[in-house]
Structure 1
Amino acid sequence: MNAWVQEFRKKRLDYGISQSKLSVALGISRQYLNQIEGGKAVPPDDTKKVMEEILERFNPEASLTLLFDYVKVRFPTTEVEWIIKEILKLNIDFMVHEDHAPNNYQESYVIGNIFIMASDDVEKGVLLELKGKGCRQYESFLEAQGRSWFDFFQACMSVKAVMKRLDLAINDMTGILSVPELTRKCQDRECITRFRTFKSYRSGELIRNREEDRLGMGNTLYIGSLKSDVYICLYEKDYEQYIKFGIPVDETPIKNRFELRLKDDRAQHTVEDLLYRYDLETTVFSIINYYIRFIDRDDTKRRADWKTNIRWACFIGENRGKLKLTTAPEPYTLDRTMNWIARQVAPTLKMVLGLDAIRETDLLNEMVEHAELTKKQKKILEQEKASIEEVILM
């Protein structure tokens, strides 16, 4: 028995998958799989690669990760400093303060990708917005505070905060899902759902709708209306990372991303359920199972009796380990600003350097020497210099 067969069989047994179940996923007979594992049949190299990829979908350790990817909360108070200190537990002295804000709010406090907007109108209250990077940054603060997302949401609910939006992301690390296949199933009615609409976009197609103005998300599937309180977005994360950062598709750890996007009442009920159960996986997949199920066509039966698709069954919990909340704390960096400088400012600076060389002058250094930083720029430098212990409050 060669090394590849031994490794493959050991993994299958470690993952607790029977030959019968795996052979169905592979699309081959159990007898043929048994012959391969017994060394009596030798599959081609490209078949071996496909077998490895499909087996890895059953890996209970690394197949899926679950995390918060967007949090928007409104606090019914005008006491913005109190919210920052007592709920977020951050030092307001390190925040950039501006006398304007989006959404008709009067002022804002910002630290990195964490945005807090305030108003004198108690109906508008204080609004906290954490997008993807903001969630990762706040996780680094939560970790340093010895708190969790559960603790944070409990603190929010204790002051009768209102959830405005909550995005939950499930990262598919091994290709359990296939966005093109699920798109086809939507088109062929191999999908039982409470949603009335779906939209799909091919790789590289420009998407224009509210916050989705992105180029290069890979194949993307929206299920449900973007105007409703709940909808689903699936897209090829590996392709997105290739377009944005040039990371080869086969080197990207996340293959696909499944996002459950909840607004207003749905977001509120989800957080309440989460705090009741204290089990994010149960909360999330109960919502998914309520709204959608992908099936395989069987014209000998009624559509309602068609079997759940094997990939989808694995995704929602069959043959995989228990999912827990994943955190990926990241400190805020000025990478985005530096990238903008590299694209927009650096060519002009290079031209000034060229002029200095031609004229034998020192214009660039003189401009930098006489430049005055704004209060915002000085505060950003303070943020960069501060340790996480200085920024958080215990």
Structure 2
Amino acid sequence: MLDIDKLYFDKQPQGICFKEYTTLYQFGNIQIYGDIESSVNYPQGTGCYLNVSGIGCHQLKIFLDAQKRSWRDFFQSCTHHSGKNGFHVTRIDIAIDDYNIKPVFTVDQLHRKCEKGEFLSKSRHHRLQQSSSDKVKSAKTLYIGHRKSNVQYRFYDKDKEQAEKGKFDIETMGSWKRTEIQLRDEKANILAEEIRFGSKTLRELAFGFLKGNLNFLLANPNQSNKSRWDSCRFWERFLENAEPVKLEIQPTVNTLLDTENWLSEGGVLAAVKAFEFLEDQQALGGLQSLQSMKKKAQFSTNLSAKIVTHLSILGKSELIPLVYEQTKQTEF
């Protein structure tokens, strides 16, 4: 079984914590926060914030199934209703459940691999958390990746967790092991785009992401390069014939026009005007004047590259050496 387990996103990409909103619309465990008054920082308001917990995602899936709609339809509806500003996904969790009597792998197996360094991931950080309960044998959770990073993997004993909460009898419920992929910000947004417009199913995306980004290995003492080690049998069996999915973040190409927009819309010019006002009124106090700050200012390498490109387009290449003279030197 595979499904989206948790879902969080705001209508406008401003990263506002839902606790700042003043109005809550709720149906079951599906919550929409809204109504923040416009301010200097957010003159057009902040849209709304959708928060769907694990149970809320299960409820939402029931509604979608009843309407013969998929997660793709849901995300496309979100695009339609969010207007020209679109929406920003702050986090998506995808859950893969293993109900086999004998699970494909256990948390202990994965943890032993991590402790021996027999795994490949962009994050080498891992930790094991163990609950303490008198009712059942303690549930274990293995985390790979930092909690606040764009990608984190979780593997845990869902059966024991539910038994500890008193929801099920561990003796009668059977085995239930869960794998979760937690994606944040850019990665979550790229996944949302793939769900909306891509050809792959959610199952193909989830297993493909694991295939392309995480691997548990068979140690090979004759090969120093881990990337050439074979995958564990249990990991291959779990992923079956999944095609790798990377969800790569594409580098943003900015020009001086983008910088101009940033100056006018980001409040930078207003800040410059504020310093000019204070200087005219002889009210700078201990602050530096704009003139003294400009004398010490240097172009960043990123801004320098934009200026050079702009001058090249205008046919004023003779000015480029002057740009480099005022560019901050990178220390190695």
Look up the match of 1:142. 64
On the 8 A contact 1:165/1:264 being kept in 2, the answer is yes
Q: How does 1:4-43 map to 2 (within 5 A)?
A: none
Look up the match of 1:263. 184
Distance (Å, rounded) in 2 between the aligned partners of 1:217 and 1:167: 24
Aligned length: 223
CA separation of 1:217 and 1:146: change in aligned 2, threshold 3 A: farther
Look up the match of 2:145. 224
Cα distance per residue 1:86-111 (max 9 Å; x no partner): xxxxxxxxxxxxxxx95210111112
Report SS of the residue matched to 1:142.
helix
What amino acid is the match of 2:91?
A: R
Q: Does 1:234 align with 2:234?
A: no
CA separation of 1:135 and 1:254: change in aligned 2, threshold 3 A: farther
CA separation of 1:150 and 1:241: change in aligned 2, threshold 3 A: same
What amino acid is the match of 2:170?
A: V
The Cα shift of 1:313 comes to 0.7
Q: How does 1:1-394 map to 2 (within 5 A)?
A: 65-76=1-12, 102-119=18-35, 120-121=37-38, 122=44, 124-158=46-80, 159=82, 160-174=86-100, 175-204=103-132, 218-245=139-166, 247-275=168-196, 276-302=198-224, 303-318=226-241
Structure 2 unaligned spans of 5+: 39-43, 243-332
On the 8 A contact 2:71/2:195 being kept in 1, the answer is no
Distance (Å, rounded) in 1 between the aligned partners of 2:138 and 2:12: 36
The Cα shift of 1:202 comes to 2.4
On the 8 A contact 2:75/2:195 being kept in 1, the answer is no
What amino acid is the match of 2:153?
A: I
Cα distance per residue 1:329-358 (max 9 Å; x no partner): xxxxxxxxxxxxxxxxxxxxxxxxxxxxxx
Cα distance per residue 1:26-78 (max 9 Å; x no partner): xxxxxxxxxxxxxxxxxxxxxxxxxxxxxxxxxxxxxxx1111111121139x
* CA RMSD between the two structures: 2.5
Larger deviation, residues 183-192 vs 271-280: 271-280
The Cα shift of 1:311 comes to 0.7
Report SS of the residue matched to 1:103.
helix
Structure 1 unaligned spans of 5+: 1-64, 78-100, 206-214, 321-394
Ranges of 4+ aligned residues in structure 1 off by more than 6 Å: none
TM-score of the superposed pair, with normalisation by structure 2: 0.62
Distance (Å, rounded) in 1 between the aligned partners of 2:141 and 2:228: 28
Distance (Å, rounded) in 1 between the aligned partners of 2:57 and 2:175: 18
Cα distance per residue 1:154-191 (max 9 Å; x no partner): 11123322211111000011111210110010000111
Report SS of the residue matched to 2:220.
coil
CA separation of 1:197 and 1:314: change in aligned 2, threshold 3 A: same
CA separation of 1:196 and 1:163: change in aligned 2, threshold 3 A: same
Distance (Å, rounded) in 1 between the aligned partners of 2:137 and 2:48: 34
Look up the match of 1:389. none
The Cα shift of 1:316 comes to 1.2
Report SS of the residue matched to 2:20.
coil
On the 8 A contact 2:130/2:140 being kept in 1, the answer is yes
CA separation of 1:269 and 1:253: change in aligned 2, threshold 3 A: farther
What amino acid is the match of 1:288?
A: L
Distance (Å, rounded) in 2 between the aligned partners of 1:301 and 1:229: 31
Distance (Å, rounded) in 2 between the aligned partners of 1:260 and 1:106: 31
Larger deviation, residues 195-204 vs 105-114: 195-204
Distance (Å, rounded) in 2 between the aligned partners of 1:246 and 1:126: 33
CA separation of 1:134 and 1:216: change in aligned 2, threshold 3 A: farther
The Cα shift of 1:140 comes to 2.4
CA separation of 1:196 and 1:136: change in aligned 2, threshold 3 A: same
TM-score of the superposed pair, with normalisation by structure 1: 0.53
Ranked by relative contact order (alpha carbons within 8 Å, sequence separation 6 or more), the top structure is 1
On the 8 A contact 1:200/1:221 being kept in 2, the answer is yes
Distance (Å, rounded) in 2 between the aligned partners of 1:107 and 1:216: 42
Percent of matched pairs sharing the same residue: 29
The Cα shift of 1:253 comes to 4.5
CA separation of 1:254 and 1:142: change in aligned 2, threshold 3 A: farther
What amino acid is the match of 1:164?
A: T
What amino acid is the match of 1:294?
A: F
